[in-house]
A and B are shown apart, each in its own frame.
Chain A
Amino acid sequence: MTDNPSHDILFQFPLLPTNVTLAISATNLKKSYGEVQALDGISLSVEQGEFFGLLGPNGAGKTTFINTLVGLVKKSGGDASVFGYDIESDYREARDRIGLAPQEYNVDRFFPIREVLIHKAGYHGITDEEAASRAENALKTVGIYDKRNTRFDWLSGGMKRRFMLARALVTDPELLILDEPTAGVDVELRHDLWEIITELNDAGTTILLTTHYIEEAERLCDRVAIMDQGRKLTVASPESLMERGSDTIRLTLENAPNEPPAIDDERIESLWIEGAQLVVTARTGGEIAPALIRALDHNGHTVLDMNIERTSLEEVFVSLTNGEEPGKSVTSQQEVAQ
Chain B
Amino acid sequence: MSVRTTGLVTLIHREILRYVRRPWNTFLPPTITNALYLIVFGVILGGRIQVTGTSYIHFILPGLIVLGAVSDAFQNASFSIFHGRWNEYIHEVQTAPLSYTEMVVAYVLSSALRGTLIAVLIGAVGVLFTNLLPSMAPIGFAHPFLVVAFVVVITLLFASFGVIGGLWAEDFDHLTVMNQFIIRPLVFFGAVFYPLNDLSPFWQNASLLNPMVYMVEGLRFAMLGSSTLDPRVSLGVLSVVTAVLVTLDVQLFKHGFGLTD
Contacts and interface: CB of A to CB of B under 8 A. Distances in A.
A91 B87 CA distance: 23
Contact of B95 (A70, A119, A126): A70
Contacts of B259: 72
B210 to A, nearest CB: 35
Contacts of B92: 106-108, 116, 119-120, 123, 167
A98 interface: yes
B6 A106 contact: no
Interface stretch (B49-57, B96-104, B127-135, B230-238): B96-104
Contacts of A122: 6-7, 9-11, 13-14
B6 A127 contact: yes
B226 interface: no
B91 A124 contact: no
Interface residues of B, number: 31
Contacts of B14: 108, 111, 119, 122
Interface in B203-258: 255-256
B97 A73 contact: no
A125 B3 contact: yes
Interface in A93-133: 93, 95-96, 98, 100, 102, 104-111, 116, 119-120, 122-127
B44 interface: no
Given A122-B6, A125-B4, A127-B6, A107 B89 contact: yes
B261 A74 contact: yes
A252 to B, nearest CB: 56
Nearest to A120: B92
A72 B95 contact: yes
Nearest to B103: A123
A124 B89 contact: no
Contact of A111 (B17, B97, B256): B17
Interface in B1-59: 1-4, 6-7, 9-11, 13-14, 17-18
A91 B7 CA distance: 15
A71 interface: yes
- Most chain B Cβ neighbours within 10 Å, of A105, A108, A109, A111: A108
B18 A120 contact: no
B97 A95 contact: yes
B7 A127 contact: no
A85 to B, nearest CB: 10
Given A74-B260, A125-B3, A106 B11 contact: no
B87 A106 contact: yes
A141 interface: no
B7 A123 contact: yes
A108 B89 contact: yes
Interface string B71-100: 000000000000010011101111111110
A133 to B, nearest CB: 15
A71 B17 CA distance: 26
Given A73-B261, A74-B260, A124 B1 contact: no
Nearest to A100: B95
Contacts of B84: 108
Given A106-B89, A119-B14, A123-B11, A72 B6 contact: no
A11 interface: no
Contacts of A93: 97
A33 interface: yes
Contacts of A140: none
A229 interface: no
B91 A72 contact: yes
A1 interface: yes
Contacts of A95: 95-97
A71 B89 contact: no
B217 to A, nearest CB: 37
18 contacts: A1-B3, A70-B95, A71-B260, A72-B94, A72-B259, A73-B261, A74-B255, A74-B260, A95-B95, A104-B88, A107-B92, A108-B84, A109-B87, A109-B89, A110-B18, A122-B14, A125-B3, A125-B6
Interface of A: 1, 33, 64, 67, 70-74, 91-93, 95-96, 98, 100, 102, 104-111, 116, 119-120, 122-127, 167
Given A106-B92, A122-B7, A123-B92, 5 more contacts: A70-B94, A100-B95, A119-B14, A122-B14, A123-B97
